């Protein structure tokens, strides 16, 4: 950000001449990319107006309950829309403002708690929804503004620590708020129960209809999503939005052009906080309860992964990120589904790495042979080493390949897991034939660890995958799937 | 008065642990200008390595070696293990991002932190691990010691604080009195200029991670000698160490020590005299106070921006 001082950046050999913009210099290259059938399709797609894409997307979302009647799927879809809203809000701060706000989910919590206090039996207050929701949004924006105040002079790092500490403080306050000066304000770890549902157009929204997740909240969430998406899009296209992006690229240059840098930072903070608080009301109303631990580090990392995966700075991107990560995390809870995901990812990753060349066949064949050999040897030694397998369904396919002992000795999980990490790291360092030779046992070890260690504990395993996605993305594709290409300043 | 002495002893122990963590942040920030979010989790891993080494040496009830050797060995094991971990993190998560925009390594660091915490959770679960130092040589570490008034200062506390200060002094000598230290200071001052003077930047950075992570490992063992350790301590400890580094002036070694002690005292006295629940609030207020009135910290230099 601010540190792209002249000696900090390296000029690529075939890069633009000094004083020429990279975007301009690469124009002809991009034109070439758009030829061919795929390129033309991309070109066509890029000409679809944004509102048409939005309408199509929202129509697809709205039709989901019509084709899928399972309450579980509807609930997951609802959560995904909530994640989209959260990702849109975080995109304002991280993607447009370029500020690392690690207290973001605290504002989500503030929104949920504020709604819960305004509409529940806790203090016997029951504001109408049409009043309390805007009020909560204002509260979120104001708290965001106040938190930004001490950080406004500071660079990204200090902002990160203040906001992260703010998240921790929010936790402490909510958890210990049941005995603040002798009053029970927040219900402590037990949270606030019996929060009112939304009351719109003379009806109270029901969560469950005949035991199945009702669609009413789903449609309200979609309405929220459209509202936030369009509003933020207009903000981004405004003077303020342009100013944010210039602030993100180079705060010093922005300041010397006369932009009110501090004010802009605070605004981006406020917009993000308000969006999160807005989403929080929906969360509290649907669950009819709020607990402090919902709004913590895990949620923060989840939303960050969505924004980074989709591409920070692009609204469509962060929505896509939420659309991928949220169902993925949900499926990883389930042993069979996560097994399918793992093998698809493993095979797909290897296939992509070798670009379907002859080597792919060799590696795949060698890995299969290696697996069968190890399995046979293990069975010959001691039958209990392969006795932990299920023979039916998808596991049946892998049953004769991966060794699954009936009972794992305590030393096996740490050794194999750390061994797998070490082997993967070594793989990135060696080249040529050695890499191919090492790849085969590493792939097998990965399958072994997955079947024996990770599947046994889906909860940390899901989050390990999230952390890995985050690290790998930052290194391999920091602009995500649809992110704006950052214009390098030469 | 007795409470006061008790709390002061506690504050010194806690403060020296925080100071050791803060030193790791400050060292890395000095050479890389990167806030290493994963540092708190390295600290947590260190406390687990110490526990593992303790079990390998026979546990506290029937150790295979004398007490002093036991304590030294588990600390060294944790330091070595954490140093390896720190080097791996630098090599694979931060080095590819050295020329990326400022926000990229920060997000990568978040990912590493999350990955480490959950990996430990996966392998060792959420149960607290107790070093059980009380059963070492029939509680000698607790019953021996010296008295201030009516308060007995246990031997374990004295050893912890002395060891922490010895490490800090050793670090100070290393940075200020040796060739390697000179290279570190030069790199921290201006990385490009240092490279032009023939300093191997990669080696200096790796060495910095070795130092910082080893200190975190030692801090992990010292922490776990006091209270049982568990996976979730990494986040909080990292946050506190981080705050201590910022309060003392990030990039300054004496600053990190001062910041850690300030934090230890603030927390200990708040917990003793006000309430155990609100110590986070007090620490946060101190942090905000520094952000507003002295953003460069106690002993840090104000950042001069080059255009």
- Alpha-helical (H) ranges within A68-155 are 71-90, 104-118, 129-151
Q: How far is CA B256 from CA A121, B25, B28, B125, in A?
A: 48, 9, 12, 32
Domain-located, residue A81: yes
How many residues are listed for chain A in this entry?
Answer: 490
Would you tell me which residues 412-451 of chain A have a C-beta closer than 8 angstroms to some C-beta of chain B?
413-414, 417, 425, 428
Residue A57 pLDDT > 80, yes or no?
yes
Residue of A nearest to B277 (CA): A176
A19 domain residue, yes or no: yes
pLDDT at position A35 is 67
Residue % of chain B over a pLDDT of 90? 47
Q: What pLDDT sits at residue B85?
A: 95
Quick check: A156 and B103 CB within 8 A? yes
* Dihedral sign of CA atoms B276, B277, B280, B285 in order: negative
**Collapsed DSSP state (helix, strand, coil) of residue A122:** coil
Same domain, A201 and A326: yes
| Token pair of A64 as six digits | 């989901």
Q: What pLDDT, on a 0 to 100 scale, did the predictor assign at position A62?
A: 85
Could you list the residue range(s) of the whole structural domain that residue A441 is in?
336-456
CA–CA distance, B192 with A6 (Å, rounded to integer):
11
Residues of B with Cβ-Cβ distance to A10 under 8 angstroms: 99
The reply to whether A65 and A125 lie within a common domain is: yes
Residue where a domain stops, chosen among A330, A348, A375 = A330
Q: Are A281 and A132 in contact (CB under 8 A)?
A: yes
Query: What is the pTM for the complete model shown?
Result: 0.88
**What is the spatial distance between Cα A209 and Cα B21, in angstroms, rounded to a whole number?**
53
Shared domain for A269 and A225, answered yes or no, is: yes
Domain boundary among A273, A303, A330: A330
Give the total residue count for chain B. 307
| Range name among A22-26, A49-53, B188-192 with the lowest pLDDT average | A22-26
Q: A242 versus B148: which is more confidently predicted?
A: A242
| pLDDT above 70 as % of chain A | 85
- Tell me if A5 and B295 make a contact (CB, 8 A cut-off): no
Same domain, A254 and A346: no
A262 and A244 in one domain?
yes
- Tell me the CA end-to-end span of chain B in Å, nearest whole number: 55
Q: Left if phi > 0, otherwise alpha if psi is -120 to 50, otherwise beta: which for A202? A: left
Q: Does residue A483 lie within any of the structural domains? A: no
pLDDT digits (tens, 9 = 90+) for B140-186: 777 777 777 777 888 888 889 999 999 999 999 999 999 999 999 99
What residues in A contact B277, CB-CB < 8 Å? 172, 176, 179
CATH of the domain at A321: 1.10.3470
- Name the band, by pLDDT with cuts 50, 70 and 90, for residue A34: low
Whether the predicted pLDDT of A49 surpasses 60: yes
pLDDT tens, position by position, A62-115: 888 878 778 788 888 999 999 999 999 999 998 888 888 888 999 999 999 999
Q: What confidence tier does A10 reach under pLDDT thresholds 50, 70, 90? A: very low
Is the pLDDT higher at A395 or at A473? A473
Tokens matching residue A55: 């309408």
Q: What is the pLDDT of residue A2?
A: 42
Residue A383 lies in a domain: yes
Tell me which residue has tokens 């080097």: B87
| Phi, psi of A214, deg, nearest 5 | -80, 155
CA distance B233 to B21: 13
B110 with A172: Cβ contact below 8 A: no
Confirm whether A120 is domain-assigned: yes
Shortest CA gap A205–chain B (Å): 37
The yes-or-no verdict on residue A54 having pLDDT over 80 is yes
Whether residues A168 and A69 share a domain: the answer is yes
Cross-chain Cβ contact A168/B103 below 8 Å: no
C-alpha torsion sign, points A138, A144, A146, A148: negative
Q: Mutation test of the interface with chain B: which of A182, A470, A490, choosing the one with the most B Cβ atoms within 10 A?
A: A470
pLDDT at A11 > cutoff 90 = no
Q: Write down the H helix ranges in A290-334.
A: 297-310, 315-331
pLDDT averaged over chain A?
82
Give the integer Cα–Cα distance in Å for A269 and A92.
Answer: 8
Two structure tokens written together for A452: 């024996």
Is residue A88 in a domain? yes
- Mean pLDDT in chain B? 88
How many Cβ atoms sit within 10 Å of the Cβ of residue B269?
A: 18
Work out the number of other CB atoms within 10 angstroms of the CB of residue A228: 20
Per-residue tokens: A464: 């390990």
Task: Using the predicted structure, report yes or no on whether residue B51 has a pLDDT greater than 90.
Answer: yes
Between chains, do A10 and B92 touch, taking CB under 8 Å as contact?
Answer: no
Residue B75 in contact with residue B218, Cβ under 8 Å?
A: yes
CA dihedral for B91, B96, B101, B107, sign (positive or negative): negative
pLDDT at A3: 42
SS3 label, residue A65: helix
Residue at a domain's end among A274, A296, A330: A330
The structural domain count of chain A equals 3
| Beta bridge partners of residue B152, listed in sequence order | B147
A106 in contact with B at a CB cutoff of 8 Å?
no
Q: Are residues A41 and A76 in the same domain?
A: no
Q: In angstroms, rounded to a whole number, what is the distance separating the alpha carbons of residues A381 and A373?
A: 12
The per-residue pLDDT for B42 is 96
A259 pLDDT exceeds 60? yes
In this model, does residue B243 exceed pLDDT 60?
yes
Q: What is the pLDDT of residue B22?
A: 94
* A71 vs B106: which has the higher pLDDT: B106
Express as a percent the part of chain B with pLDDT over 70.
Answer: 98
Give the model confidence (pLDDT) of A272-304 as tens digits.
999 999 999 999 888 888 888 888 889 999 999
- Can you tell me the mean pLDDT for B256-274? 91
Residue A359 has a pLDDT of 81
The reply to whether A189 and A42 lie within a common domain is: no
Domain-wise residue ranges, chain B: 15-234
CA dihedral A453, A454, A455, A458 (to 10 degrees): 130
Q: What is the pLDDT of residues A412-463, one digit of tens each?
A: 888 999 999 999 999 888 888 888 888 888 998 998 888 888 888 888 899 9
Q: Tally A–B CB contacts below 8 A.
A: 146
Q: Is the CB of residue B238 less than 8 Å from the CB of residue B219?
A: no
Unique residue bearing structure tokens 């905000």: B288
| pLDDT tens per residue across span B199-231 | 999 999 999 999 999 999 999 999 999 889 999
Across the interface, whether the CB atoms of B108 and A153 are under 8 A apart is answered no
* pLDDT above 60: residue B116: yes
pLDDT at residue A180 is higher than 70: no
A330-362 per-position pLDDT tens digit? 988 888 888 888 888 888 888 888 776 788 888
**Within A202-296, where are the H helices?**
216-237, 239-249, 251-256, 261-287
- Residue among A161, A308, A471 whose CB faces B93 most closely: A471
Mutate to test the interface with B, among A99, A163, A165 (most CBs of B within 10 A): A165
Question: Considering only CB atoms, which chain B residues are within 8 Å of A467?
Answer: 111-115, 118
B241 vs B62, which has greater pLDDT? B241
Of B115, B124, B246, the CB nearest to A467: B115
Which of A425, A463, A486 is facing B88, going by the closest CB pair? A425
Report yes or no: A369 at the B interface, CB cutoff 8 Å. no
> What pLDDT is recorded for position B119?
94
Chain B interface mutation, best of A12, A157, A418, highest count of B Cβ atoms under 10 Å: A157
- A290 three-class SS: strand
Best residue in A7, A161, A458 for a mutation probing chain B (most B CBs within 10 Å): A161
B268: left (phi over 0), alpha (psi -120 to 50) or beta: alpha
Cα–Cα distance for residue pair A313/A246, rounded to 1 Å: 12
How far does the CA of residue B291 sit from the closest CA of chain A (Å)? Answer: 6
Looking at beta carbons, which residues of chain A come within 8 Å of B307? 252
Beta pairing class for B151-154 and A199-200: unpaired
What confidence score (pLDDT) does residue A452 get?
84
Judged on CB neighbours under 10 Å (0-12, 13-18, 19+), A113 is buried
Chain A, 293 to 332: residues with Cβ < 8 Å from chain B are 297, 301, 304, 308
């Amino acid at each position: 950000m601010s540190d792209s001082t002249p000696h900090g950046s390296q000029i690529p050999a075939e890069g633009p001449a000094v004083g020429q913009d990279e975007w301009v210099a690469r124009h002809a290259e991009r034109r070439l990319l758009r030829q061919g059938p795929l390129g033309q399709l991309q070109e066509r797609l890029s000409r679809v107006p944004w509102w048409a894409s939005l309408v199509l997307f929202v129509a697809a979302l709205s039709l989901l309950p019509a084709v899928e009647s399972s309450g579980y799927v509807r609930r997951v879809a609802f959560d995904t829309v909530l994640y989209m809203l959260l990702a849109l809000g975080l995109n304002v701060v991280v993607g447009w403002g370029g500020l690392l706000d690690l207290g973001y989910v605290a504002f989500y919590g503030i929104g949920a708690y504020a709604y819960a206090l305004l509409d529940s039996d806790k203090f016997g207050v029951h504001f109408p929804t049409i009043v309390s929701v805007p009020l909560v949004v204002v509260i979120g924006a104001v708290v965001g503004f106040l938190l930004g105040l001490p950080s406004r002079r500071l660079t990204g790092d200090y902002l990160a620590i203040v906001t992260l500490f703010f998240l921790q403080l929010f936790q402490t306050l909510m958890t210990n708020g049941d005995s603040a000066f002798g009053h029970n304000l927040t219900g402590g770890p037990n949270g606030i129960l019996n929060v009112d549902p939304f009351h719109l157009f003379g009806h109270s929204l029901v969560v469950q209809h005949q035991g199945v997740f009702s669609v009413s909240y789903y449609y309200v969430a979609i309405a929220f999503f459209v509202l936030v998406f369009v509003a933020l899009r207009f903000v981004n296209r405004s003077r303020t939005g342009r100013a944010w992006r210039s602030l993100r690229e180079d705060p010093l240059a922005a300041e010397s052009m006369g932009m009110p840098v501090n004010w802009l930072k605070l605004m981006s903070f406020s917009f993000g906080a308000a969006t999160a608080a807005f989403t929080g009301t929906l969360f509290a109303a649907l669950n009819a309860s709020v607990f402090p631990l919902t709004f913590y580090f895990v949620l923060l990392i989840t939303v960050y992964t969505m924004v980074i995966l989709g591409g920070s700075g692009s609204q469509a991107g962060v929505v896509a990120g939420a659309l991928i990560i949220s169902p993925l995390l949900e499926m990883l809870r389930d042993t069979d589904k996560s097994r399918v995901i793992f093998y698809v990812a493993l095979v797909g990753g290897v296939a992509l790495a070798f670009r379907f060349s002859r080597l792919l066949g060799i590696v795949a064949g060698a890995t299969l042979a290696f697996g069968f050999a190890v399995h046979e040897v293990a069975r010959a030694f001691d039958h209990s080493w392969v006795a932990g397998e299920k023979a039916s369904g998808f596991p049946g396919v892998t049953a004769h390949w991966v060794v699954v002992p009936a009972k794992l000795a305590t030393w096996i999980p740490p050794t194999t897991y750390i061994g797998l990490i070490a082997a993967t790291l070594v793989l990135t360092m060696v080249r040529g034939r050695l890499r191919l030779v090492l790849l085969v046992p590493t792939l097998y070890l990965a399958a072994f660890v997955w079947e024996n260690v990770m599947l046994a504990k889906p909860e940390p395993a899901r989050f390990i995958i999230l952390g890995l996605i985050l690290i790998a993305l930052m290194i391999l594709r920091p602009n995500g799937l649809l992110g704006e290409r950052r214009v390098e300043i030469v | 008065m007795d409470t006061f002495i008790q709390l002061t002893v506690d504050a010194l122990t806690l403060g020296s642990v925080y100071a050791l963590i803060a030193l790791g942040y400050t060292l890395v920030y000095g050479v890389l200008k990167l806030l290493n979010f994963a540092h708190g989790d390295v600290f947590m891993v260190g406390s687990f390595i110490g526990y593992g080494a303790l079990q390998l040496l026979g546990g506290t009830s029937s150790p295979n070696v004398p007490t002093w050797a036991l304590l030294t060995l588990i600390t060294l094991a944790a330091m070595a293990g954490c140093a390896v971990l720190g080097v791996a993190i630098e090599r694979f998560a931060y080095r590819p991002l050295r020329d990326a925009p400022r926000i990229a390594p920060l997000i990568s660091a978040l990912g590493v932190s999350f990955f480490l915490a959950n990996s430990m959770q996966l392998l060792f679960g959420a149960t607290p691990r107790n070093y059980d130092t009380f059963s070492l040589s029939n509680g000698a570490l607790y019953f021996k010691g010296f008295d201030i008034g009516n308060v007995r200062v246990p031997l374990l506390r004295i050893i912890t604080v002395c060891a922490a200060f010895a490490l800090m002094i050793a670090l100070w000598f290393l940075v200020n009195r040796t060739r390697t230290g000179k290279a570190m200071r030069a790199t921290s001052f201006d990385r490009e200029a240092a490279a032009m003077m023939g300093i191997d930047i990669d080696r200096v950075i790796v060495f910095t991670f070795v130092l910082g992570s080893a200190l975190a490992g030692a801090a992990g063992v010292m922490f776990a000698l006091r209270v049982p350790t568990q996976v979730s301590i990494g986040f909080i400890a990292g946050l506190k160490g981080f705050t201590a580094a910022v309060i003392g002036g990030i990039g300054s070694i004496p600053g990190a020590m001062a910041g850690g002690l300030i934090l230890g005292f603030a927390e200990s006295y708040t917990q003793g005299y006000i309430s155990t629940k609100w110590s986070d609030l007090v620490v946060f207020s101190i942090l905000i106070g520094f952000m507003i009135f002295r953003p460069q910290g106690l002993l840090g230099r104000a950042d001069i921006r080059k255009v």
